[in-house]
Structure 1
Amino acid sequence: MFPIRFLQLVPVALAGITLVLSLLAQPALASQPEPPPGYFALQPYKQPAKPTALDKRLLAAMEAHKVVGLSAAVFKDNKLIWSGGYGWADLNTGREVTADTLFRAASISKMITATALMQLYDQGKFDLDDDIGSYLGYPVRNPYYPAANITFRQLLTHTSSITDSGMYNSIVENNPELLQTIDIKDLLVPGGRYYTRATFAGYAPGSQFSYSNFGTGIVGSLVEKISGLPFDTYCARYIFKPLTMDAGFEPANIKNWQNIAVLYRPSANLTSFRPTRDNYNGTKPAPTAITAPLGSALGRSPAGGLRSSSTDLAKFMQAHMNGGVYKRTRILTADTADLMHSMQWFGNSMDGFYKQKGLNFHITDDLVPGRRLLGHSGEAYGLSGDAYYDPESNLGIVFMVNGANLTNANPFYSVENTIAKTLFEAFAPKGKSSAKQIKTKDNAVFVTVNNRKIALGVPAAVMKAGKTQLLFLPAIAAADALATGIEQTGDTVTFTAGQNKATLTAGQPAMAVNGKTTLLPQAPYKQNGQLLVPVRELAAALSINVKIKV
C-alpha cells in the first residue's frame, strides 16, 4: 500500500547465469541453519516436466533474486499469449504458484481505482478540474493555500498536495483497523478528530508531485459518493464482473480465495521468509467489518488492497491497451482511456522512479531498456509486481512475486528489470518499429499518434515558414507523442531519446542538439503558461522517425 519501493534490505551479490543453473541442480539450502521463529525456509523450486528456455531463464532469475513465488502473463493485441507460475504460494503448506494464483497487488490497485472514477467521468458526473469538495459534501482545502481548489485531476496525478503524512500514516502503521470505522471528513476538515495540518504539503495544489496513498483513498471515497455504492461493490459490478475477473478488494468475496498467495519478507540472510499478509491457513477470510459512512472508503484499501491473478489483471490491461475494450466488453470510452494514458505531469520524484504520469497510469522508460511502457507497479508487505504495456508493439506483461530480495533499485528493483526484460525478449516483435504517425489540425485540442489521442492543454498550432508547414505542440504533448524524456526549468525544456538530447528555450530560434547548435525555422513560444515547440524539427534532432499530417 505504501510507496516503500526504496526500503533497503541486506544486499546480496547476484550470481552469473551459469552458477544459478548449477545451483538449481543442487540440493540447495540443505546445509542452512533452522529458520528463526515465525520464518519458513525457501525450498528448492519444482521444475516443469519439460522446461522451456523461458522457464529456465525465469527460474534462474528467481534463484538469483531469492523469489518465493512468481506468476506472470503476457498479452498481445486482444489475446493472452502466455502465462506461467513458479515457486511457492505458501511456504508452510508447500502450495505452489500457478498462473491463476491471486496476489495482493499493492499499488497496481490504483489503476483499478482510477478506472472506477473515470467510468463516472464517462457518464458526465464530474469534470476533471472540478473542486472535489463539491462532491464530498464539505470543503477540502490545503490550509497553507486556502483559496486554491483541490481537483479530481490533481488526485489522479498525485499533485493535490494531500500527502501520506500526519494522522493517515500514523493510523495505517499503528491502528489500521481504524480506517474501517472513521469518516474521511475527520482527516480532511479542521476540527475533525484526526485532522492535522501535516496532512497537507507546503506547496499549492497542482504545483508539485507527491505520491499519495491517502489521495487514492479519497478517489475511492469519491467513487462511493458519486455512485452511491460501496467502493468494492462498485468495482465488482462494473469492472471485475464485465471482464470475468475473479478479483476484488474484499478477499471474502473472491471465489478462488484458497489460491491467494501468502506475502513474505526475507530474513537478513535471504534464506527464510516471514509471512506478512494473506496467511489464511485454510480458513476463509471473514468479510471486512466496515462501519464508516458511505463516502469514506479508506477501509476498503483503494490504494493497494486488490487481490487478483496475473491472468485476470491481463484482461484489465488489455482493455486499457485497446481503447477501453476487452474482447467485446467496453469498460471505458476510447477517448477517456486515451486521456488516462496521456502525460499529465512530468518531473522527478521518488529518486527518479516517477518522471511522467497520466491519470494514475505510470509512464516509464526504465523498466525495459528502449521501451516506453504504460501501467503501474506495486510493492508492499514483500509483494513486488508490475502491469505495463508497450503501445508501439501492443504487447504487455503482468507479473507478481510474493517475496524476494528487493534491493538495487535503479529506479525499479533488479528483480523487476530482470523479469520484465526476460518476458519482452521472449515475446516482443523483432525488428524496428514503423514511423510514428502524427495527425492533427491547426487549433485542434488533441493530436492523434498511431490512433491514440493525446489531449492538448493548449491547442495545436500549424504555421508556414516558406514552403514548410510547422507543427507546434505543448512541450508535454510533444514528449508524449514522441515518447521522449522531458525536463523543464523556467522557459527552457530538454527532451531526451536514447543518447540524443535537444534543448529549446522560448524565444530562441535555435536548439542545442547533443551539444551543437541547430537553427529553427521559428522559435518556441509561450502560450497560456505552456511552452510550444516545433515537433518535426524536434523529432529530427532526436533521430525519431515520424510522419506528420496536418
Structure 2
Amino acid sequence: MISCNSTPLDQYIIDKKNQAGIIGIQAGYVGPDGNEWHGSYGFRNYKTGEVVNDSTLFMIASSAKPVTALAILKLHDEGKLNLDDDINRYIPFSVVNPHNPSNFITFRMLLSHTSTIQDNWEVLDPLYTIEEGGDSPLALSDFVQDYLTISGDYYNPKKNFYKETPGQYWSYSNMGYALLGYAVEEISGLSFSEYMNQEIFEPLGMMNSYWFLSNIPHQNIARPHQLPDEEDKDITPKMLPHYGYPGFPDGQLRTTTKDYLKFVKLIVDGGRINGNQFISEDLIKQYHTIQYPSVHQYQAISFNYNEFEDWMYYLFMRRLPSHTGGDPGVASVVSFDPEQKTAAIVFVNSPPNTLIGEKTFYLDLPRRLLNEAAK
C-alpha cells in the first residue's frame, strides 16, 4: 500500500513534520501479516521545491550498519567464515589492539561494538567530502589499513584503540563496521558494493539502493539540509552537497523506505524472502539476541535495545531492538518488534535540532508507525 497523503496517518506525519521543521521525510512500516506501508512528504531540495516521492533516495547514515551486518551473517551461513573467528584469518594485514596484543578481534565483536576499535574523529571528520561533495577518493582497503596498522598514515595507538580487552568492553565503533566491509571484499573477491548488489540487494529486491553517488543512475536524491538554530537570525535551512567518506560501509547507504522495508521484512520473517529461506533463522535471530550480556545488556548484532539512551524515552516506548543514524544533514531511525513481527522506519534529510523535533522524530513517529503496523 502506498500513501496518497489522504489518510489520518498521512496527516499525522505531515503535522509532525511541520511541527519539527523537517524538510523532507520518508516513513514506513511492516505489519505482522507482512503488509507494508510507506509514505513520502516534503521537499528533497528546499531551494528548488522538488518534492520527495517514494523513489527518492535518502542517505541513512548508521542505520546502514545492520545492512552491512547482513553480508557477514550471509557469509557465515555459507560457511565462508565463523562469527567467532579471528578477523586476521581473512585479511592480508594484522589488526591488533596494541594495548592487548594477545587478544584477537572477532567478527562478533565487530558486529556488537565490543572490538575496542575506537573512532578517532580527528582523523575521520576531515575525510568527509563535505566541502567539495562527491564520493571519497580514498579506497576502503587503503583507508582501513592506514587506520589500523602501525605503518599507516592514520594510525594512532592511543586514539584508534581503547585500552580495554576486546570482547570485554563496549563502545560504538564506526571503524569496526568499515573493517567488516573490507573483510567482505577479501572473503568474496568482490568490491563491497558489488557484493552487496549481487548477494543482498538483488535477492531482496532492493533495486534502488546504492553505496556510491557515482553509481546512482538518476538525480532523485534527498539533498542534506541543516536546520537553523532557534536563536539563529537566518531562518533558511543550510543546504549541503551530496558527500561521502572512505569508511562507507558504516553508513553511506542511500536508499528508500520502500527498499529498506524489504530488509526489515527479512528480519521479522525469520530470514525468509517470499516464503523461501534466504538465510538461516538462527542467524537472523542474532539481530535481536544480546551478544555479550556481561559487557552490554542491550547490544545485539547491530541493533540495540537501548538505542535512545534516555530513560524518559522508555517511559513511553517499549524497549525494542533499534538503530538510529545521523550524519551532517541526514538522520534515520529503525525499530522492530521480533515478537509481533512489526517494524517502523523514518528517514529525513534535515536532522531535528530542538527538543520538540527530537521527540517528534525519535519517539512520536516510530511509536505511531509501530501502533499502525500492529493493527
Range into which the TM-score falls when normalised by the shorter chain: 0.7 to 0.9
Measure, in 2, the Cα distance between the counterparts of 1:300 and 1:50. Answer: 37
Aligned runs of 1:61-72 on 2, under 5 Å? 61-72=16-27
1:223 alignment partner in structure 2: 184
Normalising by structure 2, report the TM-score: 0.86
8 Å Cα contact 1:65/1:404 also seen in 2: no
2:152 alignment partner in structure 1: 192
8 Å Cα contact 2:31/2:341 also seen in 1: yes
Superimposed CA distance per residue, residues 60-97 of structure 1 (whole angstroms, 9 cap, x where no aligned partner): 21121111111111111353432211111111221111
8 Å Cα contact 2:343/2:373 also seen in 1: no
Q: 1:106 Cα shift? A: 0.5
The reply on whether 1:163 has 2:118 as its aligned counterpart is yes
Measure, in 1, the Cα distance between the counterparts of 2:290 and 2:356. Answer: 24
Measure, in 2, the Cα distance between the counterparts of 1:327 and 1:427. Answer: 19
Q: 1:152 Cα shift? A: 1.0
Letter in 1 for 2:171: S
Superimposed CA distance per residue, residues 270-302 of structure 1 (whole angstroms, 9 cap, x where no aligned partner): 7321122438xxxxxxxx9xxxxxxxxx73610
Letter in 2 for 1:81: E
1:384 to 325, 331, 342: 331
1:548 alignment partner in structure 2: none
Measure, in 2, the Cα distance between the counterparts of 1:355 and 1:64. Answer: 35
Q: 1:123 Cα shift? A: 1.2
2:289 alignment partner in structure 1: 342
The structure richer in strand per residue is: 1
**Which ranges in structure 1 are unaligned for 5 or more consecutive residues?**
1-47, 280-287, 289-297, 349-353, 430-550
1:92 alignment partner in structure 2: 47
The reply on whether 1:357 has 2:299 as its aligned counterpart is yes
8 Å Cα contact 1:128/1:153 also seen in 2: yes
| Greater CA drift, 50-59 or 210-219 | 50-59
1:253 alignment partner in structure 2: 215
Q: Report the identity percentage.
A: 30
2:266 alignment partner in structure 1: 319
Q: 1:395 Cα shift? A: 1.4
Aligned runs of 1:263-278 on 2, under 5 Å? 263-269=224-230, 271-278=235-242
Q: 1:308 Cα shift? A: 0.6
The 3 A distance-change label for structure 1 pair 50 and 321 is closer
Q: 1:137 Cα shift? A: 2.2
Measure, in 2, the Cα distance between the counterparts of 1:365 and 1:214. Answer: 19
Measure, in 2, the Cα distance between the counterparts of 1:103 and 1:400. Answer: 7
The reply on whether 1:179 has 2:125 as its aligned counterpart is no
Measure, in 1, the Cα distance between the counterparts of 2:19 and 2:75. Answer: 45
Q: Which has the larger radius of gyration?
A: 1
1:402 alignment partner in structure 2: 349
2:253 to 298, 301, 306: 306
Normalising by structure 1, report the TM-score: 0.60
Superimposed CA distance per residue, residues 143-180 of structure 1 (whole angstroms, 9 cap, x where no aligned partner): 11111111111111111110112764255358983533
Aligned runs of 1:111-122 on 2, under 5 Å? 111-122=66-77
Q: 1:130 Cα shift? A: 1.4
The 3 A distance-change label for structure 1 pair 193 and 364 is closer
8 Å Cα contact 1:238/1:331 also seen in 2: no
**Which ranges in structure 2 are unaligned for 5 or more consecutive residues?**
none
Aligned length: 358
The reply on whether 1:146 has 2:146 as its aligned counterpart is no
Q: 1:229 Cα shift? A: 0.5
Higher relative contact order, structure no. (Cα contacts within 8 Å, ≥ 6 residues apart):
2
Cα RMSD of the aligned pairs, angstroms, is: 2.8
The reply on whether 1:237 has 2:198 as its aligned counterpart is yes
